[in-house]
Chains A and B, each alone.
Chain A
Amino acid sequence: MIELRGISLRHEDEHGNPTTVLDGVDLTLEEGELVLVSGPTGVGKSTLLGVVCGLVPRFTGGSLDGDLLLDGASIVHSPPRERASSIGYVGQDPAAGFVTDTVEEELAYGMEQLGLPPETMRRRVEETLDLLGIAALRDRDLRTLSGGQQQRVAIGAVLTMHPRVLVLDEPTSALDPTAAEEVLATLTRLVHDVGTTVLLAEHRLERVVPFADRMVLLDRSGGVQVGEPADLLAVSPVVPPIVELGRRLGWSPLPLTVREARRRARALSLGSPPDPQTTADAAPTLEAEGLVIARGRRPVLRHADLALRPGEVTALMGRNGSGKSTLLWTLQGGLTRTSGRVRVTGRDSVALDPGALPPDQRRHHVGLLPQNAADLLYLETVGEECDAGGPGTRAVLDRLVPGIPDDQHPRDLSEGQRLALALALVLAGDPPVLLLDEPTRGLDYAAKHALAVLLGELAGAGRAILVATHDVEFVAQVAGQVVVLADGEVVSHGEVRRVVAESPAFAPQVMKVLGAPWLRVDEVVAARTAAGTGRGDSR
């Protein structure tokens, strides 16, 4: 139905050196299939999606070669607005693309542009509200919706135009596990019941691989491989933990769903399970008691208690909008609390309340990496930023991501590099407590692993670390303790194996397959090697 023929995209830098993003991509999308675009960070997944919906090269620049056919007719030169009736696009941040301000008007917007008669619009809005399960939200202001609701409204807003192809860029990256499942269930329903073709890019393969009919794997040189997910994942540089496990254990064919893997794992003889981590009984570096925050008359945090110990990484989890960011900013002192107590005990054993400190002093006691790390950066080159950080900053940055040239502009860095630079600046204050808000957004598995190793090292140096995240696989890698926040209260707090074992939504894939207490692939491999049954690295 949609056919990409020899699509190539090149950018030229200021010296006229071309860089190839896509190189001769051939791809055919059939009616009613879900195609997953995958690859490491920065290989051009978003670019490929942009070419299909028409935003590339119009909004991004670059020179495009090749042809794009819709039902045999070339649409490569028609702008996105002319493709709108057949190709629907939902971007990475759905809230940024909202045009109106209520759910119902947003759903109708595209149809108004197409000039559909009012009766049709009325009918389709009602159908879409029901199809996506958002009928209760119809009058709501779009800004008051949670992330998952916004994502579903954004999908609904393009669905009302009855597009034949739906193009989605990272539809579940910003969502908590439950909301992500809802969105994916919606997409599968569209594929199965309506026959919509779905083309989506996603970093969190563990979430989408079970639903994909075919996969497109992009590589650094701009080429693509297209095929069945099971075939491509055998060679892909980015794989979900379940495939990683299958590869290490030499399973063939590779399991793609938890169910398949569980059947394979029945015959598996595992060594002794990993020892539960002993909790450090050192005095907590940060202690918070009875934190209450109200915005207007609405409580955001009601009576939250928390203790962060030195040498320990704690993960903060919870639904979108459950108050995670609010808690971090309160601990940092940037948000004033309605009541409660926060105490930070540094290396000098003096207990301080960060909220009572002058704003410029807080960073020496509590470091916070905010959700949008780019907000921190404003100087013109990486070198200047490092100078501003002080003598040790460059060294920290080089440990995180080596080899960023001094004269590069911070805005030209990749997502992971920018995060590293911001983190290096936050660490310049040498705070005993480090808080991170959603640091894994836009990172691939390799970058996430590097970040996990780094956080482990920072904790090893005696820092207390709190990471707010939706990424259960990242939590399994990095955290020793988990705090789950719901409706402004701490609902569970404890050792990671115990907490995630209790909740199916927060359990990582390895635990879903092998059961508690297994968390990570490397644990399984190590246990089998120790027991003498492991095949070692079968890659």
Chain B
Amino acid sequence: MTGRDGRSRRPGSARALHLPRDLHPVAWWLWAIGLAAYASQTTNPWLLLLLCAVAALVVAARRSDQPWANAFKLYAVVAAFIVLTRVLFRIVFGSGDSGTVIWDLPEIPLPDFALGITLLGPVTREALLSGLYDGLRLGTIVLCLGAATALANPKRLLRSVPPALYEIGTALVVAVTVLPQLADSVRRVRAAQRLRPAPESTGFGRRTRRLRRFLVPVLEDALERSLALAAGMDTRGYGRAGEATPAQRRVTGGLMLAGLVGVCVGVYAVLDSTAPRLLAGPLLVVGLALAIAGLVSAGRRVHRTFYRPDPWRWPESIVTLSGLAVAAAGWWVAHHDLAIAYPDVTLAPQVSLAALAGVAVGLVPAVAAPPPRRLAADLPVPELQGAA
């Protein structure tokens, strides 16, 4: 790696790269997808738990103090919920598997049309375990995505979209900001309405009327804010026309349209095995190429620049490569060590050194990524207009 050479030549340059800064969000996402890819290729509980531990460790080591960094907790709760539901389903809907019965519940008879479905019944250890492994796999994937959400700044990620999709990216950013504002105005309006007498409302439609008089000011507020934001964006040059000629616009539109049609037909052909093979692969590739050409052509017309774009330095490459390595290790284990990737529920699951090492590579970002920037300590909270 260049970093090693750099370090030997210029002492201190590695330290310079490790000064606090935000890692490129795309690098975090690629790393997390790598972890999730490993998780999707195994049901081995030890490996899955290890993957969760790796994700949690990296998050603990490298997350910032920004609001989205708390998302990891939420994802952990969701993952735990997924595991629990899978296990509960195995208990409630029975399993039909033969094996060691550990809990003999009475079976509830179902009518004939529900043939093949049993409610409760004897719970076997094997059924429970397979439910647990399955749930763990899904939970781990969710947790890996949660790690990416907690580590990467969502707004910076949206800024990394290709220029042609800039407008969509902005719309998403605005949508993200509107939600907390909406919560804020709900609180304000609720507090304000307690300050006045309520109109007499009795009998029919009382509840709708109450909802309405609460919603009207909130929605009005939201509408006013959106208009003010739109005015603010417009007066600052958002959506300035590029220098595209009508002909260029037609070419771009045509490319995009043809590309999308190609991709749709191609995906259909790939999934439908009866379709002619000529349609499948080649059409998909051609469609993708056309769509990309369209995006590039549209992007070239966009006359817009980025202020302080996130740099891509070697820590970004290392984080991305570690994610790729984890995914590759997962693929290798799944294809060469089936007994370890998908352990038999009747036996205690085993792990191999290669499988463990593959997961452990995922820990690299905890050291290789630069520590996040800390915000200035203890920022004042904006004054709120009352809460009840």
Q: Which of A7-15, A106-114, A216-224, A243-251 contacts B (4 or more CB under 8 A)?
A: A106-114
Known: A59-B230, A321-B383, A372-B385. A110 touches B236 (CB 8 A): yes
Q: Give 1 or 0 for each of A118-156: 1 = CB within 8 Å of chain B CB.
A: 100110010000000000000111011000000000000
In the complex, what residues of A have CB within 8 A of residue B195's CB? 332, 362-363, 367-370, 376, 426
The docked-state distance in angstroms from the alpha carbon of A390 to that of B199 is: 9
Q: Is the CB of A370 within 8 A of B385?
A: yes
CB distance from B189 to the nearest CB of A (A): 5
Name the distance in Å between A165's Cβ and chain B's nearest Cβ.
12
What residue in chain B is nearest A296 (Cβ atoms)?
B381
Q: Which 6 A-B pairs give the minimum distances between C-beta atoms?
A: A97-B232, A108-B307, A113-B237, A388-B199, A84-B237, A96-B228
Contact, CB under 8 Å: A91 / B194: no
Known: A91-B232, A158-B236. 18 other contacts (CB 8 A): A55-B234, A84-B236, A96-B228, A99-B232, A99-B238, A105-B307, A109-B236, A112-B307, A113-B304, A116-B305, A140-B379, A325-B384, A326-B384, A334-B194, A359-B388, A360-B194, A370-B195, A376-B192
Residues from chain A with a CB closer than 8 A to the CB of B224 are 96
B112 contacts A by Cβ under 8 Å? no
What B residues does A474 contact at CB under 8 A? Answer: none
A118 touches B234 (CB 8 A): no
CB A421 to nearest CB in B, in angstroms, measures 10
Q: Kindly state the separation between the CA atoms of A384 and B216 in the bound complex, as whole angstroms.
A: 15
Give the complex CA separation of A125 and B194 in angstroms: 45
A287 to chain B, nearest CB (A): 21
Q: How far is the CB of A171 from chain B (nearest CB, A)?
A: 15
Are B307 and A144 interface neighbours, CB within 8 A? no
A334-B194, A389-B197 in contact; A141/B236 too (CB < 8 A)? no
Question: With an 8 A cutoff between CB atoms, is A303 at the interface?
Answer: no
Give the residues in chain B near A360, CB-CB below 8 Å: 194, 198
For B213, what are the chain A residues with a Cβ–Cβ distance below 8 Å? 378-379
* A139 in complex: contacting residue of B191, B237, B375, B382, CB < 8 Å: B375
CB of A323 closer than 8 Å to a CB of B:
yes
Interface residues of A in 298-314 (CB under 8 A from B): 298, 300
Is the CB–CB distance between B197 and A99 below 8 Å? Answer: no
B87 to chain A, nearest CB (A): 38
A80 near B196 (CB under 8 angstroms)? Answer: no
Residue from A85, A125, A143, A389 in contact with B237 in the complex, judged by beta carbons closer than 8 Å? A85
Q: Check if A157 is an interface residue, CB within 8 A of chain B.
A: yes
Given A298-B378, A375-B193, A55–B231 Cβ distance below 8 Å?
yes
In chain B, positions 354-388 with a C-beta closer than 8 Å to chain A are: 373, 375-376, 378-388
Q: Which residues of A contact B191 (CB under 8 A)?
A: 329, 334, 370
Residues of chain A having any CB pair with chain B under 8 Å:
53-55, 58-59, 79-85, 87-89, 91, 93, 96-101, 104-105, 108-118, 121-122, 125, 139-141, 143-144, 157-158, 161, 295-298, 300, 321, 323, 325-326, 329, 332, 334-335, 359-360, 362-363, 367-372, 374-379, 384, 387-390, 411, 422, 425-426, 428-429
Contacts of A114 in B (CB 8 A): 237, 240
Task: Determine the chain A residues whose CB is within 8 A of the CB of B214 once the complex forms.
Answer: 378
Give the contacting residue for A359; candidates B194, B234, B236, B381; CB below 8 A.
Answer: B194
Q: Closest CB-CB distance, A269 to chain B, in whole Å?
A: 47
Whether a CB of chain A sits under 8 angstroms from the CB of B10 is: no
Residues of B within 8 A of A (CB): 155, 174, 177, 188-189, 191-200, 212-214, 216-217, 220-221, 224-225, 227-241, 303-309, 373, 375-376, 378-388
Interchain CA distance A144-B198 in the complex, whole Å:
34
Q: With a CB–CB cut-off of 8 A, which chain B residues contact A85?
A: 237
> Which partner residue on chain A sits nearest B232 by CB separation?
A97
B305 in contact with A118 (CB, 8 Å): yes
CB distance from B307 to the nearest CB of A (A): 3
Give min CB distance, B202 to chain A, whole Å: 13
A82 contacts B192, C-beta separation under 8 Å: no
Docked Cα-Cα span, A442 to B309, in Å, equals: 41
A371 touches B197 (CB 8 A): no
A84 touches B383 (CB 8 A): no
Beyond A96-B229, A376-B195, whether A122 also contacts B308 by CB under 8 A is yes
The DSSP consensus for interface residues of chain B is loop
> Given A114-B237, A161-B236, A370-B386: A101 and B177 within 8 A (CB)?
yes
Known contacts A81-B235, A88-B235, A139-B376: A125-B197 contact under CB 8 Å? no
CA distance A30 to B306 in the complex (A): 34
Q: List 30 A-B contacts (CB under 8 A).
A: A53-B235, A55-B234, A55-B235, A83-B235, A84-B236, A84-B237, A97-B229, A99-B229, A113-B237, A114-B240, A115-B304, A121-B308, A141-B379, A144-B381, A144-B382, A161-B236, A161-B237, A321-B382, A329-B387, A362-B194, A363-B196, A363-B197, A368-B195, A375-B192, A376-B192, A378-B214, A384-B199, A388-B196, A426-B195, A428-B197
Complex CA gap A519/B200 in Å reads 46
A388 to B, closest residue via Cβ: B199
In the assembled complex, which residues on chain B have CB atoms less than 8 Å from the CB atom of A329? 191, 385-387
CB nearest neighbor in B for A120 = B305
Give the residue name and chain of the B residue nearest to A366 (CB): B195
Residue of B nearest to A125 (CB): B307
In the assembled complex, which residues on chain B have CB atoms less than 8 Å from the CB atom of A370? 188, 191-192, 195, 385-386
Q: Closest CB of chain A to B234's CB: distance in Å? A: 4
Given known A370-B192, A370-B195, A428-B196, contact A335–B234 (CB-CB < 8 A): no
What B residues does A143 contact at CB under 8 A?
382
Across the interface, which residues of B come within 8 angstroms of A425, CB to CB? 196-197
Complex contacts, B232 vs chain A, CB 8 Å? 91, 96-99
Interfacial chain B residues near A53, Cβ < 8 Å: 235
B306 touches A387 (CB 8 A): no
Residues of chain A within 8 A (CB-CB) of B174 are 99
A99 partner residues in chain B, CB cutoff 8 A: 174, 229, 232-233, 236, 238
- The listed residue (B217, B304, B383) touching A326 by CB distance below 8 A is B383
Q: A378-B213, A425-B197 are in contact. Are A97 and B228 (CB under 8 A)?
A: yes
Give every chain B residue within 8 A of A83 (Cβ-Cβ).
235
Provide the bound-state CA to CA distance between A298 and B381, in Å.
Answer: 8
**With known contacts A118-B306, A121-B307, A378-B214, A79–B234 Cβ distance under 8 A:** yes
Which residues of A have CB within 8 Å of B217?
Answer: 374-375, 377-378
Report Cα–Cα, A113/B373, bound state, in Å: 27
A371 adjacent to B385 (CB under 8 Å): yes
Could you say which residues of chain A place their CB within 8 Å of the CB of B228? Answer: 91, 93, 96-97
* Chain A, residue nearest B307 (CB): A108
In the complex, which residue of chain A has the Cβ closest to the Cβ of B225? Answer: A96
Question: CB distance B189 to A80 under 8 Å?
Answer: no
CA A101 – CA B181 in complex, angstroms?
13
By a CB distance below 8 angstroms, the chain B residues around A161 are 236-237
A262→B228 CA distance, assembly (Å): 42
Check A157–B236 contact: CB distance below 8 A: yes
Alpha-carbon distance between A115 and B381 when the two chains are bound, in angstroms? 34
CA A55 to CA B227, docked complex, whole Å: 11
Q: Chain A's nearest CB lies how many Å from the CB of B207?
A: 15
Q: Write the nearest CB–CB distance from B283 to chain A, whole angstroms.
A: 37
Identity of the chain A residue whose Cβ is nearest the Cβ of B215 in the assembled complex:
A378
Q: From A97, which residue of chain B is reached at the shortest CB distance? A: B232
User: Please, how many angstroms separate the alpha-carbon atoms of A326 and B381 in the complex?
Assistant: 12
Query: Are A115 and B303 also in contact (CB < 8 A) when A362-B194, A411-B220 are?
Result: yes
* A116: chain B residues within 8 A (beta carbon): 305
